[in-house]
Structure 1
Amino acid sequence: MKAKYIWAWIGVLVPVVGICLFPVWQKLFLWIGSDVLPPCFFYQATGIPCPGCGLTRSVLSLLHGEIFSSLRYNVAPLMLLTVGGLFWIELVAFLMHRPVKLVPRGSWFIYTLIGIFFLIAVLRLFVPGMQI
């Protein structure tokens, strides 16, 4: 039982430390995302954006605080942040001896998130306002 609390404290404190160090790693990620990463090989070969196209720009937009711009590039980072934030709240509630389940645990939830991700990736091909 004690190991559960140790891991819960680690799970709560690591994101808090990451947020406190935001100015440091924000500069690093902005530098990496600007010129260091190669372009998408799938897009270069086919001319069709893959489901992961726009991830880097999406994360960079989030780092600048531009949420709508981030969603326009790719929804995956914001989806992961939302689910991760809900898990973090669950950990905090667990440590306060008030366990709560905010995120469904069934495989249907994971399949639904993956389905939404790929549905938006397909829609980006055909809806002019969603194209990157």
Structure 2
Amino acid sequence: MLQFAWPYLLLILPLPLLARWLPPAAQQPSAGLRLPFYTALATQHTPTRSGRGRRALAWLIWLLLVLAACRPQWLGEPVQLPLSGRDLVLAVDISGSMNTADMELSGRHVTRLRAVKAIAGEFISRRQGDRIGLILFGSQAYM
């Protein structure tokens, strides 16, 4: 549905009509620029558009300008945004020391890396709606 954010600006639509009631500008008796060939220019007739066409075009431009200033907005059905979660980053060491089998998982001896994989996998599966990043590092960090 089309709505205007500032509909009260439509009140300025008749402003050009009010401007017609203003007194005309004072005329200066002398010209600001004297042209020696003014009489030749004044005698040449250039066809112009009709006054009605120009007036209609000016009103159309004014109407579109005022409508644009009213900030038209197209409002549709509300969009349900997903619930926001947390942003998490896991940093995991993958250096050679992680191959040491000194961890116990479910009664078995496993390497440190396998234990981290199992525990991190279980942790990630329970984090519904969260955004999770992973940084692996050994001699350098990898994202």
Instruction: State the TM-score, normalized to the length of structure 1.
Output: 0.27
Q: Which has the higher helix share?
A: 1
Q: Which has the higher strand share?
A: 2
Which entry has the higher C-alpha Rg, 1 or 2? 2
Higher relative contact order (CA 8 A, sep 6+): 2
